[in-house]
Amino acid sequence: MKNLILLIGFTYFDKYFFNPSEDVVRALDRTNIRGYRITAIILPVSFKRALNKLCKAIEDLKPRIALGIGLAPKINKPVIELVAVNVAHAEYGDVDGYKPFCEFLEPKAPFTVSTNLPYRKCLEKCKRRGLKLDVGVSIGTYLCNAVAYTLISKIKSYGGTAGFIHIPPHTDLAMRLRLPNYIPLHEIIETVRCILEITIEEIEDLNK
């Protein structure tokens, strides 16, 4: 493993031509947090292409920490997803028209995987900094879940730390689409930085 953080965002989908997750990871790409270098990748909203690109990035980079970030248009604060499930199911197709129906992501793998982000400490310390953050178990069965399941499984398999968060629309997207719920982009970025800082602190404490 390298002292490297892999951040994962997504491109446009449906009417959301400006995906805040892409803006967040681009803003943090090639920056450093406590000696850890951040590398960002942007995934298409395509089950097959996204998972292939993600698996290659993990294999090539072997990051110590990995964090996926996806847009949840109806929430009003970032949410750390506690679990992901081994099912891909969609009521509507991805950008390639692919629409999985109750398919296993990994047929012989566990049905659920759990994040090993220090989510309780993240909640406490983000709150102290005036940043909104919550935890949830409603990741769904669409692409965010597929990426989270794959990401957490692969990173934890070699002793790394991984998780997935959903973020609300940022101000620009909300104004364009007249959405009632949003958070300024800079605040979302600070929340992601806070999560990463706390995760690094936890790793360093465990290695003492």
Each residue of 20-59: pLDDT tens digit? Answer: 999 999 999 999 999 999 999 999 999 999 999 999 999 9
Q: For 168-196, write each residue's pLDDT tens digit.
A: 988 777 677 787 887 999 999 999 999 99
Q: What is the CATH number of the domain that holds 97?
A: 3.40.630.20
- Mean model confidence pLDDT for the chain: 93
Q: Which residues form the domain of 19?
A: 2-206
Given the structure tokens 């953050």, which residue do they identify? 133
Q: How far apart, in Å, do the first and last CA atoms of the chain sit? A: 17
Dihedrals phi, psi of 101, to nearest 5 degrees? -125, 100
pLDDT score of 174: 64
Q: pLDDT: is 174 or 75 the higher one?
A: 75
What is the total count of domains within the chain?
1
Q: Note the pTM of the prediction, 2 decimals.
A: 0.95
Question: 141: Cβ–Cβ under 8 A, 6 or more apart, which residues?
Answer: 85, 87, 88, 89, 90
Q: Which active-site residues does the annotation give?
A: 81, 144, 166
SS (H, E, C) the chain: CEEEEEEEEECCECCECCCHHHHHHHHHCCCEECCEEEEEEEECCCHHHHHHHHHHHHHHHCEEEEEEEEECCCCCCCEEECEEECCECCCCCCCCCCCCCCECCCCCCCCEEECCCCHHHHHHHHHHCCCCCEEECCCCCCHHHHHHHHHHHHHHHCCCEEEEEEECCEHHHHHHHCCCCCECHHHHHHHHHHHHHHHHHHHHHHCC
CB 161 within 8 A of CB 68: no
